[in-house]
Every structure is written in structure tokens, then in C-alpha cells.
Structure 1
Amino acid sequence: MSYFPAFLKLENRKILIVGGGVIAFEKLKHLLDFTSDISVIALELSDEMQKMVEERNLHFLKRGYKRGDIKDFAIVVVAIDDIPLQAEIFKESRDYNCLCNSVDSVDYCDFIFPSYIKKDDLTIAISTSGASPAIAKHLKKYLLKLIPSDIAIFLKEMRSLRESLPKGRERMNMLDKKAEDYIQTWSKK
């Protein structure tokens, strides 16, 4: 089964991570690229996770998961090895219309974390729908080599033009031509 690619606006959406180990830390790092409204519930935190929670002043409850913990969250990431608890939290997420990701248990996921590239406003997501995370990782490395170092500057210029010029076909054509020229310039490098 393939996953539908979507970019979610996480502003005003609370996220809960259940778990405090290495995998929970990886998911936390990814989420922090896009939001800081993240809470963590775990019996223990890895040293890296503890440091990140403290540095970012994230809400942390040192305990196991309890039914109802997800009621005020838009998204829950279940990063624990307890498969029956993953299933229970996933089932509970239906009651609260909460998106759920149970790490390495696709049966208990509404979404997956793609491999991604983020350079300021540019975000490129790569997914193999779970078929080969290794291919996604290596494709990411390949694509990183192709993206010019000045992409952030170009995107700021494009944003400024979009905000300052009146909407319409003329603006759309000019911006399209500018983007095409930019890509042709760096593809020749």
C-alpha cells in the first residue's frame, strides 16, 4: 500500500511522543524541525532525549502511558517496543480523531515518517511506503548533492516577489520563468 504524500501544518497542533529511547529521540528531532509543541511521556529518557527535552523546554511526564493521555493531542507518536500497548493506543486514537504513528508497526499507523531534506523553506519528502527505508536514505543523500547551496536565498526572493506583485497570469508566468531559469542554471553546474 502506498501512502498519500501530504505536508501538515503543525501550528496549533499538539504532539505527544510515548517513549524516551533512541527511536523516540529520532522522531523528536524530526518533529522539532517543524514545531516545538511536543510533549513526552516515558518511564525513562535516553541521555540524548533528556538533553533535548531540557534544551527545548518540552513538557515531560516520567511515567507509563495511561488511557486518556492522548485526548488533547492532534498527533501521537508511539515509540515503544510494547506491541499490545501500541495497538491499544492506536485503537484509542480513533476515539479522539488523533493521527497515530506506531514506530515499526504499520498496522498501527495513520502516517509514516518519510526521509526528508529540509533547507529553510525547501522540504523534500522521500518514501518507499516502507518497502525500503535504505533506498529512501540513499536517495536523500543523492538529492542533497544536487540542491544548490543558495536555494534558501532564491526561495526568499521568490516569496518576496509573490507577496509584492499583484496576483494574476503575468505574475504566475514571471515566477514560473524565474524558477525554470534558476533550475537550468544550477543543473548546468
Structure 2
Amino acid sequence: MSYFPAFLKLDNKKILIVGGGYIAYEKLEHLLDFSSNISIIALELSDNMKRVIEEKSLNFEKRGYQKGDIKDFAIVIVAVDDIPLQARIFAESKEYNCLCNSVDSVDYCDFIFPSYIKKGDLTIAVSTSGASPAVAKHLRKYLQELIPSSIGEFLQEMKELRKTLPKGKERMKMLDKKAHDYINTWSSK
């Protein structure tokens, strides 16, 4: 079954990462593009995890996971190789109505991390529903090359225009033409 693409608003949503290795670090790096309300529980931390936790002043507890740790969190990322622990945390997440992602265990996931591009307000997500993360990664790289670095400034200009121009068909037509013309300049380069 395919995953439904959705963009979640993470404002005021607490996130917990269980684990402190390389994969936990990758997930942390992705999440920091959208939120800093992140806590980590792990027995050990990679050097990169230690550095980011210190730089971002994130909450960290050096210990193993304990039942009930997720009760105050909206999202939990389980980045440990312990499959029985992944299963337990996933089952517990249903009790607390929090979304769960267990790395490399789709049976214990409510959602997956797509490969994505983020440039200013633009976010493009690419997913193969877990069939081939490598294809998603290379497609993301291909798309990233197509998008000019000026996209952030252009989106800011469009945002300002939407705020200042009165709503209606004329505004829609003008903004549509402006977007169309901007994107058409990409192919003329």
C-alpha cells in the first residue's frame, strides 16, 4: 500500500527520538529543518548527535527507553536495531495517539520519512513508499538541480503580493502568470 503524502505542522508538537546512532542523527537532521522541539533518549550517542544536541540545546537523557516515555509526545522516532523494542513502542504509541516511525520496520510505522528538497518556503517530498529509498534519493538530487537558488526570494515576493493584493480573480490570474513565467525561465537557461 502507498503512503498518503501530507505535510504536518509541527508547531507545538513534541518529538521524541529513541536512539543515538547514525540513523537517529539522520532523522534528527531532517526534523531540525522543521522543528527544534525534539528530545532524545539513548544509551549512547554518536559524535554528530552529541554535537547537534549541544548546539541546539536539545533535551537528552542518557538511558534506555522506559514504558510511558512517549506519553507527552506527538511523534516518536524509534532509531534502534532492537525490533522487539520497536514493536513495543509502536504498540504503546497507539495508547497515547502519537505517530510512530520505526526505522527500517514499515510494520511499525504510521509514516515514513520521504527524501525531500527544502529551499525557503518550498518543500518537495519524494517517496517510493519504501520500495526503493535509493530511487527517491536520486530523483530528489535530480529535481534539486532543476530548481534555482532564487526560488526562496521568488516565493517571498509571491507571499508579499498575496498579502497586499485584494483577493479575487484578477489577483489569481496575475499570480498564476507570474509563477508560470518564473518557472518557464528555468527551461530557457
Amino acid at match of 1:179: A
* SS at structure 2 position matched to 1:20: coil
Amino acid at match of 1:56: K
Partner Cα separation in structure 1 for residue 163 and residue 50 of structure 2: 41
Amino acid at match of 1:6: A
* SS at structure 2 position matched to 1:111: coil
Contact 2:41 2:61 in 1 (8 A): yes
Show the 5 A alignment for 1:72-111.
72-111=72-111
Instruction: Report the counterpart of residue 47 of structure 1 in structure 2.
Output: 47
Note the alpha carbon deviations across 1:56-92, whole angstroms, 9 max, x for none: 0000010000000000000000000000000000000
**How many residues align structurally?**
189
Normalised by the length of structure 2, the TM-score is 0.99
Normalised by the length of structure 1, the TM-score is 0.99
* SS at structure 1 position matched to 2:154: helix
Instruction: Report the counterpart of residue 129 of structure 1 in structure 2.
Output: 129
- C-alpha deviation, 1:115, in angstroms: 0.2
- C-alpha deviation, 1:188, in angstroms: 1.4
* SS at structure 2 position matched to 1:173: helix
Instruction: Report the counterpart of residue 118 of structure 1 in structure 2.
Output: 118
Structure 2 gaps of 5+ residues are none
Contact 2:119 2:149 in 1 (8 A): no
Contact 2:17 2:39 in 1 (8 A): yes
- C-alpha deviation, 1:100, in angstroms: 0.2
- C-alpha deviation, 1:185, in angstroms: 1.3
Partner Cα separation in structure 1 for residue 97 and residue 167 of structure 2: 37
Partner Cα separation in structure 2 for residue 112 and residue 153 of structure 1: 30
Structure 1 gaps of 5+ residues are none
Amino acid at match of 1:129: S
Give the percent of matched residue pairs that are identical in Structure 1 and Structure 2: 77
Note the alpha carbon deviations across 1:112-144, whole angstroms, 9 max, x for none: 000000011111000000111111111111111
* SS at structure 2 position matched to 1:66: coil
Give the aligned CA root-mean-square deviation in angstroms: 0.6
- C-alpha deviation, 1:30, in angstroms: 0.1
